[in-house]
Amino acid sequence: MNFLPRNGQWVKVALPAHRRPPEQACCAKDGLYVGIFLRAGRDATGLVQPERVVLVDQKGNNLTADVEGFPVTLCLGLSQVCALVPVTDRQDIPPQRLKGVHPSWQPRP
């Protein structure tokens, strides 16, 4: 990783060949998966969470899984990705997440 993402920044990740993302994961034009980077910190329950990427679906919603009847956000630790790069083209961000955003806005690298 040769850049330091900001908390909440849109990023793209490459996954190792043996790791398949959920079918509904949003894929950018270049084949990388789109997600949101989150810095390490405490979650709502007080547990310390490491730096991670939350993958999003085609509508821009966080991907979740059902664990014992409860929805759990799917996160990838930085050790689970092969590449982490910033989203620099707004067309890589799910259109639903761009509603209400000025048409000239571009993500910052």
pLDDT at 2: 62
Q: pTM value? A: 0.86
Does any domain span residue 81?
yes
Total count of domains within the chain: 1
107 found inside a domain? no
Per-state percent for the chain, helix, strand, coil, to nearest 5: 10, 35, 55
pLDDT tens digits in sequence order for the chain, 109 residues long = 567 799 999 999 999 988 888 889 999 999 999 999 999 998 888 989 899 999 999 999 999 988 899 988 889 999 999 999 999 999 999 999 988 888 888 887 7
Is the sign of the CA dihedral 73, 77, 83, 89 positive or negative? positive
DSSP state of 47: -
State the pLDDT at residue 93: 93
> For position 11, what pLDDT does the model report?
95
- Who's near 55: CB < 8 A, 6+ residues apart? 13, 21, 22, 25, 26, 33, 34, 35, 62, 63, 74, 76
pLDDT recorded at residue 17: 87
Q: Report if residue 4 sits inside a domain.
A: no
- 100 found inside a domain: no
